[in-house]
Amino acid sequence: MNIAVKIDDRFVKVDGRNIRYLEQGSGVPAILLHGSSLGSSADVFRRNLQALGARGIRAIAVDLPGFGKSDPPDGMSAAERKSFLLRFMDALGLPRAALIGHSSAGSTVVALALANPERVSHVIILGTGSLLPPLEGAAKVGARGEAAQARLEERMVKQEPTLADTRALLEANLFHHELITDEELALRHQNSIGRCFEQFVLRHAEQAEGGGPHPNPPPQAGEGKGGGGVPLWQRLTELKMPLLLIYGRQDRARAEARATLLHERYPELNLHFAEGCKHMVPWDAADLFHELAVPFLMK
């Protein structure tokens, strides 16, 4: 297992906001994007950046606005939020980069790559359930553990999480619980309280008022939409750049069965399964991720 290492914070101004990011290595630029669950931040990739950076990748993980130490997105229009990543790339002087999206960020990455292929060199998806087809007759939240996780997340919208709550959410998404060190737990909790918690509540309220999906739905709940209302999973073969997908076999909402169905429908997709891996692919399957991603990005 790769060990998370301390990496110094960096900041850049994007639209007048301080945006925090972590960076390691030089060479092929690759931006890693975290999901939308409470506690998410660039720190999700701390155990990946050094490994990628040592192998010819300029690995950059960013705190999206309102997450981690980045300024909140107050006053940003929906269009500005969608194009934030392009402006972040501009701020770093990157005309083109590979995009790596974990969880809900995968749909953002695919939508951006479809709309701006000239800015995206490669796409890597890590455990994004909204890019998988639904299973006929499957419940949105099937397993008992998934229901418990959903209840915990709903409760935390009303009450700031305790350290025990933060651990419970991590354990629900992680196969290898031994990776939850005291340091990792403290960092995740730090990114789950205070301003980060306030932003989580605001995102939840905005989604509820707009009639949109929960800001952190389980993979089965809601499918990313592409142009013309077509689900993004049906548009993956339209991408003009190389695509790599990695899913955990033990991920929630029958992700393995749905990813298998996706591959059956589009056998040309470069799709891999990680054994002993739930939703936290960058942690549970760090070695496999590095083994597949480096040669993929270097092509």
Q: What is the 3-state secondary structure (H, E, C) of the chain?
A: CCCCCCCCCEEEEECCEEEEEEEECCCEEEEEECCCCCCCCHHHHHHHHHHHHCCCEEEEEECCCCCCCCCCCCCCCHHHHHCHHHHHHHHCCCCCEEEEEECCHHHHHHHHHHHCHHHEEEEEEECCHHHCCCCCCCCCCCCHHHHHHHHHHHHHHHCCCCHHHHHHHHHHHCCCHHHCCHHHHHHHHHCCCCHHHHHHHHHHHHHHHHCCCCCCCCCCCCCCECHHHCEHHHHHHHCCCCEEEEEECCCCCCHHHHHHHHHHHCCCCEEEEECCCCCCHHHHCHHHHHHHHHHHHHC
Give me the count of residues in the chain: 299
Which residues, other chains included, contact 102 with Cβ-Cβ below 8 Å and sequence gap of 6+? Answer: 32, 33, 34, 35, 44, 45, 126, 127, 128, 281, 282
């695919």: which residue's tokens?
Answer: 110
Q: What is the pTM of this model?
A: 0.90
Per-residue pLDDT 10s for the chain (299 aa) are 566 677 999 999 999 999 999 999 999 999 999 999 999 999 999 999 999 999 999 999 999 999 999 999 987 877 788 899 999 999 999 999 999 999 999 999 999 999 999 999 999 999 999 999 999 865 544 445 556 666 666 777 788 999 999 999 999 999 999 999 999 999 999 999 999 999 999 888 877 665 444 333 333 333 455 556 899 999 999 999 999 999 999 999 899 999 999 999 999 999 999 999 999 999 999 999 999 999 999 98
198-220 residue pLDDT tens: 999 988 887 766 544 433 333 33
Instruction: Identify the CATH assignment for 10-298 out of 3.40.50.1820, 3.40.47.10, 3.40.50.2300, 3.90.226.10.
Output: 3.40.50.1820
Tokens of 50: 């050094």
Instruction: Give the per-residue pLDDT at 150.
Output: 63
Tens digit of pLDDT for each residue in 98-123? 999 999 999 999 999 999 999 999 99
Domain boundaries defined on the chain: 10-298
